[in-house]
Structure 1
Amino acid sequence: MIWSPDGRYLAYAGREGRQSVWGALNDQLYVCDLKTGVSKSLTDSEDFCIAAATLSDTREAAFGANLQWSKDSSRVFMGFGWHGEGHICSVSVGGGPIQFHTKGQREYMLGNFSRDGAKVALCAGDSAEPNEAYVGTLSKKGLEARKLTSFNKDLLEELEIAKPAMTWIKSASGTDVQVWVMKPASADRKKAPAILEVHGGPHAQYGVPFFHEFQVLAASGYVVVYSNPRGSKGYGEEHCNSIHGSWGAADWEDVEAVTAFMKKQPYIDAKRMAIMGGSYGGYMTNWAIGHTDDFAAAITDRCVSNLVSMSGNSDFPLVPDTYWKGNPWSQPETLWDQSPIRYFENVTTPTLIIHSEGDLRCNVEQAEQVFTSLKLRGVPTRFVRYPQSTSHGMSRSGPPDLRIHRLHQILGWYKIYLKNGK
């Protein structure tokens, strides 16, 4: 929340009715007029969530609203995530349509306004360039941004940076799913192995921000495919809320559609495809290896494997009969039916497991269950554990040496099971 410069209004993010601790529902912008004591939503007429939730491994995820007032207290500015992009928007305190001040396939992150209100600090970047600092000036044409820094210019000129192509596909139910494909240079000469990345959240989104991990994989000769299946932010509340309390259904249907799309591409070797993801992406990786043999390898990172046990050892406790129906002590059926480990009877996919012992969101025992199950079933597996000092966000905010170590573990696994075709 944030006070207006004139002290009359208080702007804040929230929603009325059913609450969603997982963020499946749209947060709206409210303004309370301290003169009248009346609060009203300024964004309830449009299907946007006032939180970007657009992921990158060059910064922490931004799931909360970022609000700023204009100097004259007439408008509230905020950041929106939409179709994988990040934009700066505003709305009048008196109501009316949301105005977009930026456009294009980029990510803009809102900072503070100058004292006179004429300029605004922001960061901006895209899939080929990490965010840099800009100063913006508002005009009738939009926001004119002037670049202040080029910290990575020399390095980017030395490296082979892949630029993804974006497309849309149809899922089995007719749902439109946005997909990005990042091709290595070698993919134009021969069929290449491919990796499907599934994002965490689940109520977040992949898109245009720079992703170091994707660039490392592409530079190593892999086609990297990523998408926003149902459950993702950035496509309206229905798309996001469609997996509320029902993981492994509509979301899995969309992941299967992306997998089918990958198989059809002439530059992808369909016999050398892998799936990987972290957090909920790890959940979906675990779900995939229990439901298909499409993938020659898998990597499950900071994963969820058993919703019943997770309900009691996460810093995000599963409150009975809220997001999921039932509870772990007397009505565990829904949680167990949606737990990937329930379907490990027929797993054959070689799987690398990565987890931090200091992960309070998805406790390391979630990974231990996967490792034990795969070992007992004779499935090729390896368990890489990082120390108690690392957290759920190690891949994006952990110590640089351990982040590099993690990437080497990933490349080593794929070298065995994708490049060498073991």
Structure 2
Amino acid sequence: MTGLPDPGARDIRGSAEFERVAQFYRRWHAPAFGAVSGAMSPAASPDGLAIAFAGEVRTDLEGRPRFRLCLAERSGIRQLTGPHPEVDERNPQYCPDGRTIAFTSDRETPGVQQLALADAASGQVQDAPAVDGTVEYLRWSPDGARILLGVAGLGADLAGGEGSGSVVRGGRDGLPAWVPEVDSGVSGEHWRSIWIYDVAGRSVERLPLGGLNVWESVWCGPDAVLAVTSPSPGEGAWYTADLRRIELTGASAELVHEPDRQLGWPAASPSGRRRAVVEACSSDRWVVAGDVVVIDAQRGTAAKISTADVDVTHLQWLDESRLAFLGMRGLETVAGTYDARSGETTETWSSAATCGDRYPVASFLPDGSAAMVHSSYSVFPELAWLREGKVETVASLRHEGSDHLGEVAGRVEPVRWTAPDGTEIEGLLCKPAGPGPFPLVVNVHGGPVWAWRNHWTLGGAYVRLFVSRGYAVLHPNPRGSSGRGQEFAEAVFGDPGGADTHDYLSGIDALVARGVADPQRIGVTGASYGGYLSAWLITQDRRFAAAAPIAPVTDWYSQHYTANIPFFDELLLADRPQGTAGRYRERSPVTFADRVRTPTLLIAGAEDRCTPPGQATEFHRAVLMAGVPSVCVIYPGEGHGIRSFPAIVDQGARLLDWFGRYLPAS
């Protein structure tokens, strides 16, 4: 049963399917309008009694969510700053004495985050001098006298996992509509820098970095910072970034570690003697999961440490010798500590549930306890403490809408199967009540180096929508995924669409054999690398009744010359684009589009710099030329993935209609 009279219509707001999907999201979100319904960036108060966080507050289903500075205490949740419907507040961090919370706010200029400070008791806010750019993160110095600010120029790129596009979205500075967009390569607005705010003097100063772009940074003792840097601000330059210790005077930028993979999550002990960083084979900035390298400046040593087989996604020194970490091991989220004096690693917590957003993160205190946003497919996000291996809920964000969603969105279960070469593959299966077989949608994750976790939203805003309509949704973690070590993650490099193709197909075979999936009703979707695989799979196998690639790569040649991360496709393909043969041709879905017999819905964002919308258009035209139904939908104002209402509603309606036409649930 289909829901749209014409899947190629531009405006579908009057359709029954659009209204039905809109009602689904209203039932989900409306009961919490005006209240805190989501959370990110938890920060532990030094006394262990409160958790500051950025609380999601919606008042309608328009645009992207905005966040408020909030506190979770035993008495409940308190919005610390006053109601400002148009203001977005993020990145809370407690001063070491616990009296002040530094955070960022765009109250002066929409979309441009600047430093602000709030009294932790009263919520009274004090603004700081503005910096030239937008503040992406902040860190208090160990003595609380200064605040490190990571600042991006207003023309800098967002990472793919953040939605791509520029760091500040919106209008064109009041310019007439005819004024062109101009690209001349790197400009001053693309750089990321470090600024230091002096609390007593209420002044801010930019560090002289001598042509270094700083992707991430933390304090490294009282007079230096530890930073992931590159000599260029282009998003592709991140893939070859190194680790440096930069003196506050700017007189020195000492090379600390030069990796052969990508770097993330730098951390330093209070004195700066010991440093640590995660080194991993990675697809996107801020999506780094892998090995931990510990550097001892006094001894002049650098070594990878044992992390109990965990791909680490978060690091924090508890004191001069103990390093806390958090990450993934298979489908588990795991926390632990490493003692640099004894060399011992201790696992402190593991769970099928998880914390954080893209990857597990938390905020640790010196005693090893941690503040987190804890959730699973059956547990709505809650502010919680991790203490002595147990999760203690401080305040749940549950509401009537989330309870309704839990009733209609089925359940999740881990699944495992064996690929043709004997490799065990695992994933998460969301399915409705009942015995099956169900129509199955395979949801391929992005990256490819990332992984599905047992998270409240799991595979995105539309997964629960699918399950509520009778679809089972498989979330595979094939080779290339995080949580299985670097060898497993690197197995896809040089071979995208190779062995991992059979990881997906064998998973479908396993669910068909188990009576879960109907072999005549198999669909595939996914975003980013998942969009690439969705397009690729239908050129390799004809079992799919429908496909919906989102933000895909379909032609590696044109991707290389139009995306903002050309270094990555060379890394992934282990090849160069020059010439007419090789993997740039052999692994491009568009090369084999004449084989496609699967009706294909392609979705992209007009502002996506990571996988530009032309990739979707190119494959769409090729599929039409093959005589197969195809629709291409490009959303204005959206980047890498659709993240704003009502575009989310529109996308959900189109997806359900497309799959309903070719693999109906009833």
**TM-score range relative to shorter protein:** 0.7 to 0.9
Matches within 5 A, 1:226-241: 226-241=475-490
Paired position in structure 2 for 1:408: 653
* Counterpart-to-counterpart distance in 2, 1:256 and 1:384: 27
- CA gap of 1:418–1:121, structure 2 versus 1, over 3 A, is same
TM-score by length of 2: 0.55
Paired position in structure 2 for 1:179: 427
SS of residue paired to 1:35: coil
- CA gap of 1:420–1:87, structure 2 versus 1, over 3 A, is closer
Quote the offset at 1:22 in angstroms. 6.5
1:366 to 615, 618, 624: 615
Opposite residue 213 of structure 1, the aligned amino acid is Y
Paired position in structure 1 for 2:664: 419
- CA gap of 1:320–1:3, structure 2 versus 1, over 3 A, is closer
Paired position in structure 2 for 1:92: 339
Q: Which has the larger radius of gyration?
A: 2
SS of residue paired to 1:125: strand
Query: Residues 128 and 162 of structure 1 are in contact (CA less than 8 Å); yes or no, is this contact kept in structure 2?
Result: no
Mapped pair 1:120 → 2:367:
no
Paired position in structure 2 for 1:152: 398
* Counterpart-to-counterpart distance in 1, 2:662 and 2:424: 32
Quote the offset at 1:87 in angstroms. 2.1
Paired position in structure 1 for 2:256: none
- CA gap of 1:370–1:31, structure 2 versus 1, over 3 A, is same
Deviations 1:256-292 (A, max 9, x none): 1012113223243221111111111111111111111
Query: Residues 469 and 665 of structure 2 are in contact (CA less than 8 Å); yes or no, is this contact kept in structure 1?
Result: no
* Counterpart-to-counterpart distance in 1, 2:482 and 2:569: 24
2:385 to 135, 140, 144: 135
- CA gap of 1:330–1:146, structure 2 versus 1, over 3 A, is same
Paired position in structure 2 for 1:41: 304
Opposite residue 152 of structure 1, the aligned amino acid is R
TM-score by length of 1: 0.85
Matches within 5 A, 1:309-328: 309-318=558-567, 322-328=571-577
SS of residue paired to 2:521: strand
Paired position in structure 1 for 2:534: 285
1:210 to 456, 463, 474: 456
Query: Residues 527 and 641 of structure 2 are in contact (CA less than 8 Å); yes or no, is this contact kept in structure 1?
Result: no
- CA gap of 1:309–1:32, structure 2 versus 1, over 3 A, is same
* Counterpart-to-counterpart distance in 2, 1:150 and 1:20: 33
Paired position in structure 2 for 1:68: 316
Query: Residues 428 and 454 of structure 2 are in contact (CA less than 8 Å); yes or no, is this contact kept in structure 1?
Result: no
Quote the offset at 1:180 in angstroms. 2.4
Matches within 5 A, 1:242-321: 242-318=491-567
Mapped pair 1:167 → 2:415:
yes
- CA gap of 1:103–1:336, structure 2 versus 1, over 3 A, is same
* Counterpart-to-counterpart distance in 1, 2:551 and 2:612: 8
Quote the offset at 1:373 in angstroms. 0.6
Quote the offset at 1:81 in angstroms. 1.4
- Which residues of structure 1 form unaligned runs of 5+? 52-65
SS of residue paired to 1:251: helix
Paired position in structure 1 for 2:242: none
* Counterpart-to-counterpart distance in 1, 2:330 and 2:551: 26
- CA gap of 1:227–1:20, structure 2 versus 1, over 3 A, is closer
* Counterpart-to-counterpart distance in 2, 1:231 and 1:118: 31
- CA gap of 1:335–1:97, structure 2 versus 1, over 3 A, is farther
RMSD, aligned CA: 2.5
Quote the offset at 1:172 in angstroms. 0.7
Query: Residues 180 and 225 of structure 1 are in contact (CA less than 8 Å); yes or no, is this contact kept in structure 2?
Result: yes
- Which residues of structure 2 form unaligned runs of 5+? 1-265
Deviations 1:331-358 (A, max 9, x none): 6522110111111112110111110011
* Counterpart-to-counterpart distance in 2, 1:273 and 1:32: 49
Looking at secondary structure, tell me which structure has more strand per residue: 2
Paired position in structure 1 for 2:644: 399
* Counterpart-to-counterpart distance in 2, 1:220 and 1:237: 38
Paired position in structure 1 for 2:268: 3
Paired position in structure 1 for 2:352: 105
Looking at secondary structure, tell me which structure has more helix per residue: 1
Opposite residue 50 of structure 1, the aligned amino acid is V
Percentage of matched positions with identical amino acids:
24
Mapped pair 1:377 → 2:642:
no
Paired position in structure 1 for 2:312: 50
Opposite residue 255 of structure 1, the aligned amino acid is Y
* Counterpart-to-counterpart distance in 2, 1:420 and 1:267: 13
Query: Residues 231 and 241 of structure 1 are in contact (CA less than 8 Å); yes or no, is this contact kept in structure 2?
Result: yes
Query: Residues 283 and 303 of structure 1 are in contact (CA less than 8 Å); yes or no, is this contact kept in structure 2?
Result: yes
Query: Residues 25 and 241 of structure 1 are in contact (CA less than 8 Å); yes or no, is this contact kept in structure 2?
Result: no
Quote the offset at 1:33 in angstroms. 2.6
* Counterpart-to-counterpart distance in 2, 1:14 and 1:325: 19
- CA gap of 1:118–1:175, structure 2 versus 1, over 3 A, is closer
SS of residue paired to 1:179: strand
Query: Residues 471 and 665 of structure 2 are in contact (CA less than 8 Å); yes or no, is this contact kept in structure 1?
Result: no
